[in-house]
A = this chain, B = another copy of it.
Amino acid sequence: MTVPDISDYLPHIAFDSVIFGFSKGQLKILLMEYHATGWYALPGGFVGVKEGLNQAVERGLKERTGLENIYLEQFYTFGDFNRHGAEVMKRILEANGYAVNESYWLLDRFISVAYYALIDVEKVTLQPDSLSDSIGWYPIDALPQLIFDHQQIVTKALDTLRYHLDRKLIGGKLLPEKFTMNDLQRVYEAILGEKLRRTSFQRKLLGLDILKRHEKHFTGKSHKAPYLYSFK
């Protein structure tokens, strides 16, 4: 079995994606589980020699989720010398049946550009890569142990997401096109990790003048039907 070839990619440069989704009231991210090792990692990839960095990340995201044109934001580049772990990567490759020698490129030191993405979980069709036997959603507050510095990357992604939440008005990117105010509030609460007051939240978001009100959404429950909203 031949090992993946480097010649098409820039050496020492990688990207990692923290892909956020929201379901069952929880904020979750996508993780890959590597064959036979029980190790988890962020979905990532490499940059083609004639490919733009952002394009590479978009390509990687499409390969894993099938989605295009999704909200994507670069937030930090991790470049510590000791952030890689050659022995970890070697175990992963060997568990996949590759025989690698010490100079194999995947064992090298990598600088990784990290992005976070916000997607509607209903729209994705998950697709593992060749080294992983599964890809799935894990709640942000109950993640398995991650390889390398990926936990640190997740933490920084979450910090950045919270930081951007009120400034870039991105809360709705985790929901379908139309949603109720209560849906949106639960997204905000999951991201911020705290309860918000219903009336204040409603007033604040309506005051921003970024929501368009649509028809009412009848659930069959015995109470007033909420309006559906979308972002302008």
Contacts and interface: CB of A to CB of B under 8 A. Distances in A.
- The quantity of this chain's copies bound in the complex is 2
B51 A81 contact: yes
Interface in A11-62: 11-13, 47, 49-56
Interface range on chain A (Cβ under 8 Å from partner): 20 to 34
Interface stretch (A71-79, A175-183, A194-202): A71-79
Interface of A: 10-13, 47, 49-56, 74, 76-82, 109, 111, 113
26 contacts: A10-B109, A10-B111, A11-B11, A11-B12, A12-B12, A13-B13, A13-B111, A47-B79, A47-B111, A50-B81, A51-B81, A52-B81, A52-B82, A53-B77, A53-B78, A53-B79, A53-B80, A54-B79, A54-B80, A55-B81, A56-B79, A74-B76, A74-B77, A77-B77, A77-B113, A111-B113
